[in-house]
Amino acid sequence: MDSVASSQVHAFGSTNGHAGPENVPYHDSNGESAASTSFSSQPVNGYSQQNPFQAHDDAIIRHLYHSGFQSGNYADTFLHVLGSVYRLHAIILSRSPYLAHLMSTSPQTSPHAIYVQVEHEPEVTQEGFAIALGYLYSSESLGLIRPENARGVLAAACLLGGMEELCAYAYDVCRQSITVDSINDWVDFIESLRSPSSSGVSTPVDVAPPSTSIFGLYGPRLKDDVEHFLTVSLPNILGVSVTSSPSQQESNKTGRDTLLHIYSRVPFDFFKRSVENPQFQIGSDQARFKFAKDAIEMRKRGIARGSGAEETVVLAFGGNSHGASAVHVTRKLRKRPLWKVNAP
Protein backbone atom coordinates (compact mmCIF):
# COMPACT_ATOMS: atom_id res chain seq x y z
CA MET A 1 0.00 0.00 0.00
CA ASP A 2 2.84 2.36 0.85
CA SER A 3 4.51 1.63 -2.47
CA VAL A 4 1.30 2.47 -4.31
CA ALA A 5 0.92 5.74 -2.45
CA SER A 6 4.54 6.68 -3.06
CA SER A 7 4.21 5.90 -6.77
CA GLN A 8 1.16 8.19 -6.96
CA VAL A 9 3.03 11.04 -5.28
CA HIS A 10 5.94 10.51 -7.64
CA ALA A 11 3.63 10.50 -10.65
CA PHE A 12 1.70 13.64 -9.77
CA GLY A 13 4.41 15.57 -7.98
CA SER A 14 3.85 17.94 -5.08
CA THR A 15 2.40 21.46 -5.35
CA ASN A 16 2.35 23.81 -2.34
CA GLY A 17 2.67 20.74 -0.05
CA HIS A 18 -0.24 18.82 -1.59
CA ALA A 19 0.20 15.54 -3.44
CA GLY A 20 -1.75 15.24 -6.66
CA PRO A 21 -2.16 16.98 -10.00
CA GLU A 22 -1.37 20.69 -9.90
CA ASN A 23 -4.28 22.88 -8.76
CA VAL A 24 -6.89 20.11 -9.32
CA PRO A 25 -9.75 19.96 -6.77
CA TYR A 26 -9.67 16.96 -4.39
CA HIS A 27 -12.47 14.40 -4.74
CA ASP A 28 -13.49 12.21 -1.83
CA SER A 29 -14.48 8.51 -1.97
CA ASN A 30 -18.06 9.49 -2.87
CA GLY A 31 -16.83 11.35 -5.94
CA GLU A 32 -17.82 14.76 -4.51
CA SER A 33 -15.53 17.69 -4.99
CA ALA A 34 -14.33 19.76 -2.05
CA ALA A 35 -15.76 22.73 -3.88
CA SER A 36 -19.24 21.30 -3.29
CA THR A 37 -18.96 22.23 0.38
CA SER A 38 -18.78 25.94 -0.43
CA PHE A 39 -21.69 28.06 0.74
CA SER A 40 -23.97 29.86 -1.66
CA SER A 41 -25.66 33.20 -1.18
CA GLN A 42 -28.74 31.83 -2.97
CA PRO A 43 -31.68 31.20 -0.61
CA VAL A 44 -32.34 27.56 0.32
CA ASN A 45 -35.77 26.72 1.79
CA GLY A 46 -36.33 30.42 2.33
CA TYR A 47 -33.05 30.97 4.23
CA SER A 48 -29.83 32.52 2.95
CA GLN A 49 -26.69 30.50 3.50
CA GLN A 50 -23.84 32.64 4.76
CA ASN A 51 -20.26 31.58 4.21
CA PRO A 52 -18.87 31.02 7.74
CA PHE A 53 -15.37 31.63 6.36
CA GLN A 54 -16.11 35.07 4.92
CA ALA A 55 -14.38 36.76 7.86
CA HIS A 56 -11.34 34.59 7.17
CA ASP A 57 -11.32 35.63 3.50
CA ASP A 58 -11.71 39.31 4.43
CA ALA A 59 -8.80 39.03 6.86
CA ILE A 60 -6.59 37.63 4.11
CA ILE A 61 -7.44 40.55 1.80
CA ARG A 62 -6.74 43.08 4.56
CA HIS A 63 -3.43 41.36 5.26
CA LEU A 64 -2.47 41.44 1.59
CA TYR A 65 -3.30 45.15 1.33
CA HIS A 66 -1.67 46.38 4.54
CA SER A 67 1.27 44.01 4.87
CA GLY A 68 1.76 43.31 1.17
CA PHE A 69 0.98 46.58 -0.59
CA GLN A 70 1.40 49.29 2.03
CA SER A 71 4.38 47.75 3.85
CA GLY A 72 5.89 45.83 0.95
CA ASN A 73 6.72 42.78 3.06
CA TYR A 74 8.12 39.71 1.27
CA ALA A 75 8.17 41.59 -2.04
CA ASP A 76 9.62 39.87 -5.09
CA THR A 77 9.12 42.67 -7.63
CA PHE A 78 10.32 46.26 -7.57
CA LEU A 79 8.16 48.54 -9.72
CA HIS A 80 9.70 51.85 -10.81
CA VAL A 81 7.37 54.64 -11.95
CA LEU A 82 7.42 58.46 -11.88
CA GLY A 83 10.55 58.52 -9.72
CA SER A 84 9.13 56.18 -7.05
CA VAL A 85 9.82 52.52 -6.29
CA TYR A 86 7.11 50.11 -5.08
CA ARG A 87 7.95 46.80 -3.38
CA LEU A 88 5.25 44.49 -4.73
CA HIS A 89 4.38 40.90 -5.57
CA ALA A 90 4.35 39.37 -9.03
CA ILE A 91 1.37 37.10 -8.42
CA ILE A 92 -0.77 40.14 -7.54
CA LEU A 93 0.61 42.35 -10.31
CA SER A 94 -0.23 39.67 -12.87
CA ARG A 95 -3.90 40.63 -12.45
CA SER A 96 -3.02 43.58 -14.69
CA PRO A 97 -2.53 42.57 -18.35
CA TYR A 98 -0.19 45.54 -18.82
CA LEU A 99 2.03 44.62 -15.86
CA ALA A 100 1.87 40.90 -16.66
CA HIS A 101 3.25 41.60 -20.12
CA LEU A 102 5.88 43.95 -18.68
CA MET A 103 7.05 41.31 -16.20
CA SER A 104 7.24 38.59 -18.83
CA THR A 105 9.28 40.74 -21.21
CA SER A 106 11.64 42.39 -18.70
CA PRO A 107 15.06 40.91 -17.80
CA GLN A 108 14.67 38.28 -15.08
CA THR A 109 16.58 39.58 -12.08
CA SER A 110 16.32 38.91 -8.36
CA PRO A 111 14.39 40.76 -7.14
CA HIS A 112 12.57 41.36 -10.41
CA ALA A 113 12.68 45.03 -11.47
CA ILE A 114 10.18 46.50 -13.92
CA TYR A 115 9.95 50.07 -15.22
CA VAL A 116 6.65 51.72 -16.16
CA GLN A 117 7.14 54.61 -18.58
CA VAL A 118 4.27 57.09 -18.23
CA GLU A 119 6.11 60.35 -18.71
CA HIS A 120 4.30 60.77 -22.04
CA GLU A 121 0.93 60.37 -20.28
CA PRO A 122 0.41 63.60 -18.29
CA GLU A 123 -2.97 62.47 -16.97
CA VAL A 124 -1.35 59.56 -15.07
CA THR A 125 -0.41 61.04 -11.70
CA GLN A 126 1.67 59.63 -8.87
CA GLU A 127 -1.34 59.49 -6.57
CA GLY A 128 -3.64 58.02 -9.20
CA PHE A 129 -1.16 55.29 -10.11
CA ALA A 130 -0.65 54.34 -6.44
CA ILE A 131 -4.40 53.98 -5.90
CA ALA A 132 -4.72 51.79 -9.01
CA LEU A 133 -1.84 49.59 -7.80
CA GLY A 134 -3.51 49.26 -4.42
CA TYR A 135 -6.74 48.16 -6.09
CA LEU A 136 -4.91 45.10 -7.43
CA TYR A 137 -4.59 44.03 -3.78
CA SER A 138 -7.92 45.20 -2.38
CA SER A 139 -10.93 47.41 -3.06
CA GLU A 140 -9.95 49.29 0.12
CA SER A 141 -8.10 51.77 -2.09
CA LEU A 142 -11.48 53.01 -3.39
CA GLY A 143 -11.75 55.03 -0.19
CA LEU A 144 -8.82 57.17 -1.33
CA ILE A 145 -10.53 58.41 -4.51
CA ARG A 146 -11.63 62.06 -4.42
CA PRO A 147 -12.82 64.50 -7.08
CA GLU A 148 -9.33 65.99 -7.20
CA ASN A 149 -7.57 62.72 -8.07
CA ALA A 150 -10.31 60.72 -9.81
CA ARG A 151 -9.12 61.54 -13.33
CA GLY A 152 -5.59 60.41 -12.49
CA VAL A 153 -6.99 57.17 -11.04
CA LEU A 154 -9.08 56.60 -14.17
CA ALA A 155 -6.06 57.17 -16.41
CA ALA A 156 -3.91 54.72 -14.42
CA ALA A 157 -6.66 52.09 -14.26
CA CYS A 158 -7.22 52.29 -18.02
CA LEU A 159 -3.49 51.91 -18.57
CA LEU A 160 -3.05 48.89 -16.29
CA GLY A 161 -6.23 47.14 -17.46
CA GLY A 162 -8.09 44.31 -15.78
CA MET A 163 -9.94 46.62 -13.38
CA GLU A 164 -13.11 47.74 -15.11
CA GLU A 165 -14.90 48.21 -11.77
CA LEU A 166 -12.27 50.74 -10.69
CA CYS A 167 -12.53 52.52 -14.05
CA ALA A 168 -16.32 52.77 -13.70
CA TYR A 169 -16.06 54.01 -10.11
CA ALA A 170 -13.42 56.65 -10.92
CA TYR A 171 -15.37 57.75 -13.99
CA ASP A 172 -18.51 58.26 -11.90
CA VAL A 173 -16.55 60.41 -9.42
CA CYS A 174 -15.19 62.42 -12.36
CA ARG A 175 -18.65 62.93 -13.79
CA GLN A 176 -20.05 64.14 -10.47
CA SER A 177 -17.09 66.50 -9.98
CA ILE A 178 -18.04 68.63 -13.00
CA THR A 179 -19.25 71.83 -11.31
CA VAL A 180 -19.19 75.58 -11.82
CA ASP A 181 -15.99 75.78 -9.77
CA SER A 182 -14.18 73.03 -11.69
CA ILE A 183 -15.51 73.71 -15.18
CA ASN A 184 -12.46 75.67 -16.34
CA ASP A 185 -10.24 72.67 -15.61
CA TRP A 186 -12.64 70.39 -17.45
CA VAL A 187 -12.72 72.77 -20.43
CA ASP A 188 -8.93 72.48 -20.57
CA PHE A 189 -9.39 68.71 -20.50
CA ILE A 190 -11.76 68.93 -23.47
CA GLU A 191 -9.14 70.96 -25.31
CA SER A 192 -6.55 68.24 -24.70
CA LEU A 193 -8.93 65.66 -26.16
CA ARG A 194 -8.93 67.39 -29.50
CA SER A 195 -6.58 66.22 -32.21
CA PRO A 196 -4.42 68.98 -33.71
CA SER A 197 -6.42 68.92 -36.96
CA SER A 198 -9.79 69.58 -35.29
CA SER A 199 -9.35 73.34 -35.53
CA GLY A 200 -10.27 73.17 -39.20
CA VAL A 201 -7.55 75.71 -40.07
CA SER A 202 -5.02 73.20 -41.28
CA THR A 203 -4.52 69.47 -41.58
CA PRO A 204 -1.15 68.42 -40.13
CA VAL A 205 0.54 65.26 -41.30
CA ASP A 206 1.96 62.52 -39.07
CA VAL A 207 0.74 64.10 -35.83
CA ALA A 208 0.84 62.23 -32.55
CA PRO A 209 -2.51 61.15 -31.05
CA PRO A 210 -3.86 63.26 -28.19
CA SER A 211 -2.38 62.30 -24.82
CA THR A 212 -5.82 61.61 -23.39
CA SER A 213 -6.29 58.64 -25.73
CA ILE A 214 -5.22 56.62 -22.68
CA PHE A 215 -8.80 56.96 -21.41
CA GLY A 216 -10.15 54.76 -24.19
CA LEU A 217 -13.95 54.86 -24.26
CA TYR A 218 -14.04 57.02 -21.13
CA GLY A 219 -12.48 59.97 -22.96
CA PRO A 220 -15.46 60.56 -25.28
CA ARG A 221 -17.84 59.87 -22.37
CA LEU A 222 -16.24 62.58 -20.25
CA LYS A 223 -16.24 64.95 -23.21
CA ASP A 224 -19.98 64.35 -23.67
CA ASP A 225 -20.56 64.84 -19.93
CA VAL A 226 -18.74 68.18 -19.94
CA GLU A 227 -20.60 69.36 -23.03
CA HIS A 228 -23.96 68.36 -21.53
CA PHE A 229 -23.10 70.22 -18.32
CA LEU A 230 -22.15 73.38 -20.20
CA THR A 231 -25.06 73.22 -22.63
CA VAL A 232 -27.90 72.11 -20.38
CA SER A 233 -26.99 72.21 -16.68
CA LEU A 234 -24.84 75.34 -16.41
CA PRO A 235 -27.37 77.87 -17.80
CA ASN A 236 -29.93 76.59 -15.32
CA ILE A 237 -27.47 76.68 -12.40
CA LEU A 238 -26.48 80.27 -13.25
CA GLY A 239 -30.10 81.36 -13.61
CA VAL A 240 -29.76 82.08 -17.34
CA SER A 241 -32.02 79.28 -18.55
CA VAL A 242 -35.64 80.00 -19.43
CA THR A 243 -36.55 77.21 -16.99
CA SER A 244 -34.83 78.94 -14.07
CA SER A 245 -36.82 79.93 -11.01
CA PRO A 246 -37.69 83.63 -10.36
CA SER A 247 -35.04 83.88 -7.63
CA GLN A 248 -32.41 82.56 -10.04
CA GLN A 249 -33.46 84.97 -12.75
CA GLU A 250 -32.87 87.92 -10.39
CA SER A 251 -29.14 87.23 -10.66
CA ASN A 252 -29.41 86.77 -14.44
CA LYS A 253 -26.87 89.50 -15.23
CA THR A 254 -24.13 87.97 -13.11
CA GLY A 255 -24.96 84.50 -14.35
CA ARG A 256 -24.85 85.61 -17.99
CA ASP A 257 -21.45 87.24 -17.48
CA THR A 258 -20.13 84.02 -15.94
CA LEU A 259 -21.55 81.99 -18.82
CA LEU A 260 -19.96 84.37 -21.33
CA HIS A 261 -16.58 84.08 -19.66
CA ILE A 262 -16.71 80.29 -19.77
CA TYR A 263 -17.89 80.17 -23.39
CA SER A 264 -15.13 82.55 -24.43
CA ARG A 265 -12.59 79.82 -23.54
CA VAL A 266 -14.08 76.65 -25.01
CA PRO A 267 -12.87 75.13 -28.30
CA PHE A 268 -14.68 76.37 -31.39
CA ASP A 269 -16.26 73.05 -32.36
CA PHE A 270 -17.88 72.79 -28.93
CA PHE A 271 -18.86 76.49 -28.93
CA LYS A 272 -20.65 76.01 -32.24
CA ARG A 273 -22.45 72.82 -31.19
CA SER A 274 -23.64 74.30 -27.89
CA VAL A 275 -24.91 77.63 -29.22
CA GLU A 276 -26.74 75.89 -32.07
CA ASN A 277 -28.12 73.16 -29.78
CA PRO A 278 -31.88 73.56 -29.11
CA GLN A 279 -31.18 72.39 -25.54
CA PHE A 280 -29.11 75.54 -24.94
CA GLN A 281 -32.15 77.39 -23.62
CA ILE A 282 -31.16 80.87 -22.53
CA GLY A 283 -34.19 82.64 -24.01
CA SER A 284 -35.40 83.45 -27.48
CA ASP A 285 -33.43 83.01 -30.70
CA GLN A 286 -32.58 86.70 -30.52
CA ALA A 287 -31.22 86.24 -26.97
CA ARG A 288 -29.13 83.28 -28.08
CA PHE A 289 -27.87 85.27 -31.08
CA LYS A 290 -26.89 88.21 -28.85
CA PHE A 291 -25.14 85.86 -26.43
CA ALA A 292 -23.13 84.22 -29.23
CA LYS A 293 -22.19 87.62 -30.67
CA ASP A 294 -20.93 88.85 -27.27
CA ALA A 295 -19.02 85.60 -26.72
CA ILE A 296 -17.32 85.88 -30.11
CA GLU A 297 -16.15 89.39 -29.25
CA MET A 298 -14.54 88.02 -26.08
CA ARG A 299 -13.07 85.08 -28.01
CA LYS A 300 -11.35 87.48 -30.42
CA ARG A 301 -9.30 88.74 -27.50
CA GLY A 302 -8.64 85.26 -26.16
CA ILE A 303 -8.83 81.74 -27.55
CA ALA A 304 -9.46 82.82 -31.18
CA ARG A 305 -6.70 85.41 -31.19
CA GLY A 306 -4.02 84.65 -33.75
CA SER A 307 -5.82 81.55 -35.03
CA GLY A 308 -5.94 82.84 -38.59
CA ALA A 309 -9.71 82.34 -38.68
CA GLU A 310 -12.70 84.62 -38.16
CA GLU A 311 -15.74 83.50 -36.18
CA THR A 312 -19.19 84.90 -36.97
CA VAL A 313 -22.79 84.25 -35.98
CA VAL A 314 -25.95 84.74 -38.04
CA LEU A 315 -29.63 84.58 -37.22
CA ALA A 316 -31.78 82.87 -39.85
CA PHE A 317 -35.26 84.43 -39.75
CA GLY A 318 -38.05 82.06 -40.66
CA GLY A 319 -35.67 79.13 -40.96
CA ASN A 320 -36.40 77.51 -37.65
CA SER A 321 -38.39 74.38 -38.55
CA HIS A 322 -38.52 70.85 -37.22
CA GLY A 323 -36.50 71.86 -34.16
CA ALA A 324 -33.59 73.22 -36.21
CA SER A 325 -31.61 76.09 -34.77
CA ALA A 326 -32.11 79.61 -36.11
CA VAL A 327 -28.68 80.61 -34.78
CA HIS A 328 -25.67 79.52 -36.83
CA VAL A 329 -22.01 79.97 -35.92
CA THR A 330 -19.40 79.80 -38.65
CA ARG A 331 -15.69 80.23 -39.03
CA LYS A 332 -13.65 81.00 -42.10
CA LEU A 333 -10.02 81.63 -42.84
CA ARG A 334 -8.97 85.22 -43.05
CA LYS A 335 -7.76 86.20 -46.47
CA ARG A 336 -4.13 87.08 -46.61
CA PRO A 337 -3.44 90.56 -47.93
CA LEU A 338 -2.05 90.64 -51.44
CA TRP A 339 0.96 92.84 -51.97
CA LYS A 340 1.42 94.40 -55.36
CA VAL A 341 5.00 94.61 -56.49
CA ASN A 342 5.69 97.33 -59.01
CA ALA A 343 8.23 96.59 -61.70
CA PRO A 344 11.27 98.89 -61.54
- 249 and 148 part of one domain: no
- 259 and 129 part of one domain: no
Q: What is the mean pLDDT of the chain?
A: 80
Q: Which residues contact 79 (CB under 8 A, 6 or more apart)?
A: 85, 86, 88, 93, 99, 114, 116, 133
Q: Give the pLDDT confidence score for residue 304 in this predicted structure.
A: 60
CA 222/CA 215 separation, integer angstroms:
9
Q: Kindly state whether residue 94 falls inside one of the protein's structural domains.
A: yes
Least Cα distance to 116 among 128, 131, 103 occurs for 103
- 317 and 187 part of one domain: yes
| φ, ψ (nearest 5 deg) of residue 97 | -60, -35
- 188 and 330 part of one domain: yes
Residue 134 lies in domain: 56-177
The model scores a pTM over 0.85: no
Q: Kindly state whether residue 246 falls inside one of the protein's structural domains.
A: yes
- 219 and 156 part of one domain: no
Half-sphere exposure of 81 (CA within 13 A, CB side): 26
For range 239-260, the mean pLDDT:
72
Q: Kindly state whether residue 138 falls inside one of the protein's structural domains.
A: yes
Q: Give the pLDDT confidence score for residue 221 in this predicted structure.
A: 94
Please write down the long-range contacts of 153-156, taking CB distance under 8 Å and 24 or more positions apart. 153/127, 153/128, 154/128, 154/215, 154/218, 155/121, 155/123, 155/124, 155/125, 155/128, 155/214, 155/215, 156/124, 156/125, 156/128, 156/129, 156/131, 156/132
Sign of the Cα pseudo-torsion (266, 269, 272, 274, in order): negative
Q: Which residues contact 305 (CB under 8 A, 6 or more apart)?
A: none
Amino acid identity, position 46: G
CATH classification of the domain holding 140? 3.30.710.10
- 60 and 163 part of one domain: yes
Q: Kindly state whether residue 140 falls inside one of the protein's structural domains.
A: yes
11-20, 123-132, 206-215, 298-307: least confidently modelled range: 11-20
Q: Give the pLDDT confidence score for residue 204 in this predicted structure.
A: 38
- 169 and 264 part of one domain: no
- 78 and 150 part of one domain: yes
Q: Give the pLDDT confidence score for residue 51 in this predicted structure.
A: 79
| φ, ψ (nearest 5 deg) of residue 213 | -65, -15
Q: Give the pLDDT confidence score for residue 179 in this predicted structure.
A: 95
203 with 194: CB under 8 angstroms?
A: no
- 329 and 246 part of one domain: yes
- 225 and 310 part of one domain: yes
Q: Give the pLDDT confidence score for residue 318 in this predicted structure.
A: 60
For every residue of 122-147, DSSP letters joined together read TT--HHHHHHHHHHHH-GGGGGG--T
pLDDT: which is higher, 206 or 98? 98
Q: How many domains does the chain have?
A: 2
For range 130-140, the mean pLDDT:
97
Say if residue 226's pLDDT is above 50: yes
Q: Provide the pLDDT confidence category of residue 110 given band limits of 50, 70 and 90.
A: confident
Q: Kindly state whether residue 125 falls inside one of the protein's structural domains.
A: yes
Q: Provide the pLDDT confidence category of residue 251 given band limits of 50, 70 and 90.
A: low
- 297 and 273 part of one domain: yes
Q: Provide the pLDDT confidence category of residue 24 given band limits of 50, 70 and 90.
A: very low
Please say which residue of 150, 177, 204 terminates a domain.
Answer: 177
Q: Provide the pLDDT confidence category of residue 254 given band limits of 50, 70 and 90.
A: confident
- 121 and 186 part of one domain: no
